[in-house]
Amino acid sequence: MIDRSFTTVANLRTKIFADGADKAGMLDMAAKPFIKGLTTNPTLMKKAGITNYKAFALDVLKDIPNKPISFEVFSDDFLEMEKQANEIAGWGDNVYVKIPITNTRREGAYDLIGRLANKNIKLNITAIMTLDQVRGVIEKLNPNVPSYVSIFAGRIADTGRDPLPLMIEAVTILKSNPMSELIWASPRELLNIFQADAIGCQVITVTNDLLKKLDLVGKDLDEYSLDTVKMFYNDATSAGFTI
Ligand code: E4P
């Protein structure tokens, strides 16, 4: 069900996580009370120039010991992924181990997820884009251990499909495991935070760039229109344009 009433940031029920791997940005976000957790991934870490995965993670965890934070395994072999997951899980009580839904050979990670869940490891299953994947994962997750199911709604939207119906259905599927929370991953615009909230999605993970737009929430549209006109005028003036 979609609750279409307008919500302010303070009233959001959806928890905002900060998605990124730039240490300064992560600490900045972690210090904000409205940021309830953090996520990373190997692509973000590469982009941030990280070369020593473990040293980076341990360093970040020294400064962020209390909010949930996800670190992803990066092997393509399930046995190796399992070893990495065991190691990563030992880095802190607030650590969630991100497991991609398949390896690069399209083999499902379901058995691995089941084994890790039975060892009470907190998991964040990532790169999910179909409801079949959600159903397969939810069967394997431990009902006594907190976990996240990350659907890449923005990537679904990138294919020209509206992710909202799928996300609504996923919220329903996850009700069978109350310890498992749905993450709206890869948001593409600030509106996605309010869409996630309206459908009862528990978490949304947002990059710092998108979070900068939070100041705009609820802004008067006449004022915003005027700001935009001023921006064009000031830029044209400072560029010295003439016709
Ligand atoms: C989530 O945990 C991912 O790190 C992230 O949302 C991926 O976003 P992208 O689709 O923009 O790469």
DSSP structure string for 84-142: HHHHHHTT-TTEEEEEESB-TTS-B-HHHHHHHHHTT--EEEEEE-SHHHHHHHHHHS-
**Ligand 1 contacts CB of residue 19 (under 6 A):** yes
DSSP code of residue 157:
H
d(CA 6, CA 160): 26
Helix (H, G, I), strand (E, B) or coil at 9: helix
**Ligand 1 contacts CB of residue 133 (under 6 A):** no
What pLDDT score was predicted for residue 9?
84
Q: In order of start, what are the domains of the chain with their CATH numbers?
A: 9-218 (3.20.20.70)
The CA 242 to ligand 1 mean position distance, Å, reads 43
For the cut 60, the answer to whether the pLDDT of residue 189 exceeds it is yes
What pLDDT score was predicted for residue 5?
59
Question: What is the pLDDT confidence band of residue 10, given thresholds at 50, 70 and 90?
Answer: confident
Residue 124 near residue 97, CB atoms below 8 Å: yes
What would the mean pLDDT of 50-71 be, rounded to a whole number? Answer: 98
What pLDDT score was predicted for residue 23?
97
What pLDDT score was predicted for residue 8?
80
Structure tokens at 239: 């560029």
Buried b / exposed e over 15-31, threshold 16 CB at 10 Å, is bbbbbbbbeebbeebbe
The CA 63 to ligand 1 mean position distance, Å, reads 23
The CA 172 to ligand 1 mean position distance, Å, reads 22
The CA 62 to ligand 1 mean position distance, Å, reads 24
For the cut 90, the answer to whether the pLDDT of residue 7 exceeds it is no
**Ligand 1 contacts CB of residue 181 (under 6 A):** no
Over the stretch 210-220, which tens digit does the pLDDT of each residue have? 999 999 999 99
Residue 132 near residue 110, CB atoms below 8 Å: no
What pLDDT score was predicted for residue 118?
98
Strand (E) positions, the chain? 15-19, 35-39, 69-72, 95-100, 123-128, 147-152, 180-185, 203-207
Over the stretch 72-129, which tens digit does the pLDDT of each residue have? 999 999 999 999 999 999 999 999 999 999 999 999 999 999 999 999 999 999 999 9
| Summary mean pLDDT of the chain | 96
234: part of which helix (H) or strand (E)? helix 221-239
What pLDDT score was predicted for residue 137?
98
